[in-house]
Amino acid sequence: MSRRIQMAVMGGNCVLLIAGTAYPILTAMALVMDLVCLLLYEKRDIYALLFFLMPFAVVFKLAPDQFSLFQIYVLAAVLVLALRRQQYAVRMILLICLFVIYNIPDAMVGGYHTLLKMAASLLLLYFFTEDDEGEQLPYYAYAFSGSLLLSSLISKFRFLVPSIDAYAKEETWRQDGIDSIRFAGLYEDPNYYTVGLILSLSLLLLLYARGRIGYGFYVFFIAFSYFGFETGSKSFLFLYALLCICLLVIWYEQKRYRMIGAAFAAFFGVALFTFSGFLYSIERVLGRLFIGDITTGRTEIWGGYLQEFLSDPLGLLFGHGMSAPPLNGGQVPHSTYLDCLYYLGIVGSILLLAAVVPLLIRHLPRGHMNWHNLIPVLLLCALYMFLSELTYGELPFHLMLAWLGMVYGEAEARVFQMEKNTLPAPAFLPVRGEMHD
């Protein structure tokens, strides 16, 4: 499928889904169009469309209070990819089945939809790591980052489409007696929106370090920096600072000393304007660092779950089931790692790791890995410390993008090594393209 057709489909989805917040029939038309594309697209185009639709999942509904049709589309995509596959890795399918069987008792008491979603996520991750070796990262990164930027701009100018407010409500918070809006794009929670921003920036930074993106990187970097500070997220501030340090190191490696000088000048300029009161979005994020607990109450929540583990060793061992209500009056663990222990237990977490880890280490470089490749996965692991993503719909896509970051460039390295180890043709034989009559 040509890229022009793919871009037309993506643009059509954007128009139909946004207009569909006022006229649901248009959302249904978008779903039908996407299902038809599943039958016509190559595998890489199916994955690219999934990455593009992800930031629009909240508005991919027939009504604000209904489930997202994006989940149906993911299930349909998994089914199509499964039917197209000619062979399976028996060991991986068995590991996924073991995890599903372990959670069947919980599914029988009301958690079937969660188990179905997680099974589809594991299969999607398995298919993706089988079908790709990392060389398609630019394609997928542009699809996801472009969609995230587009959806953010639409949300910023949502006053033009008031019907969006019913689907993606804006969160407000009070600081210094002033009510502010925490920007979240078309997401329901600014913290989960932050995951997309950080992951997108880290992947674009990897492509920039490899010379696969030019001035477009600065467009994304500036735009996502602005939207990130609008979220008021502390985690964005810390991880964004790490990304900026990585960018300075890359410039140093590339001997772009003028860019380093310009970056320091920009930093001091932004600092001056911030403390002068002209950049309130940055000032309020910095102000949140000195208000209460730096983890925004998460340490107290984590303490409650740790006490539960100590008082209920059997629950720690086998888990409470994915349909179990959260502790602390409905407070989720706010940590994916605690999610696993509370809902799955040690046994279920081991089964989940047994199914996921072999997929994530597939196609990893056998020798030295460039530090650029580790940026996305390390930042994602840090974000999982503060967010509950075990049953979150975007979990497989985050893992897929992080995996792409780790293996990107490995396919090219293998080809280079094969060419390096190939014996040259004898000098008396003509080289192809140099034959003479």
Better-predicted residue by pLDDT, 184 or 278: 184
Could you give phi then psi for residue 251, rounded to 5 degrees?
Answer: -60, -40
End-of-domain residue from the set 23, 55, 87 = 87
Are 118 and 82 in a shared domain?
Answer: no
**CA of 46: how far to CAs of 39, 43, 122, 387, in Å?**
9, 5, 17, 28
Are 167 and 239 in a shared domain?
Answer: yes
Range of the domain at 344: 91-410
Are 73 and 111 in a shared domain?
Answer: no
pLDDT in tens, 264-277: 998 888 777 666 66
pLDDT score recorded for residue 418: 41
396, 125 Cβ separation under 8 angstroms: yes
- Which is nearest to 322 in space by CA: 147, 99, 133, 158? 99
Residue 430 lies in a domain: no
Residue 387 lies in a domain: yes
What is the value of pTM for the model shown? 0.89
Q: How many domains does the chain have?
A: 2
Are 124 and 11 in a shared domain?
Answer: no
pLDDT band at 175 (very low <50, low <70, confident <90, very high): low
Could you give phi then psi for residue 181, rounded to 5 degrees?
Answer: -100, 130
pLDDT in tens, 380-396: 999 999 999 998 889 99
- Which is nearest to 56 in space by CA: 143, 171, 160? 143
Are 51 and 186 in a shared domain?
Answer: no
Helices (H), 132-256: 137-156, 190-209, 216-230, 234-253
Are 160 and 54 in a shared domain?
Answer: no
Are 123 and 25 in a shared domain?
Answer: no
Mean pLDDT confidence for 331-354: 93
pLDDT in tens, 96-118: 999 999 999 888 877 788 899 99
Better-predicted residue by pLDDT, 375 or 233: 375
Are 59 and 134 in a shared domain?
Answer: no
Q: Give the number of residues written for the chain.
A: 437
End-of-domain residue from the set 45, 63, 87 = 87
70, 117 Cβ separation under 8 angstroms: no
pLDDT score recorded for residue 362: 79
pLDDT score recorded for residue 424: 43
Are 61 and 178 in a shared domain?
Answer: no
End-of-domain residue from the set 42, 59, 87 = 87
Are 181 and 296 in a shared domain?
Answer: yes
Are 12 and 113 in a shared domain?
Answer: no
pLDDT score recorded for residue 181: 80
Mean pLDDT confidence for 159-187: 82
pLDDT score recorded for residue 436: 40
Q: Would the pLDDT of 263 be above 80? A: yes
Better-predicted residue by pLDDT, 56 or 323: 56
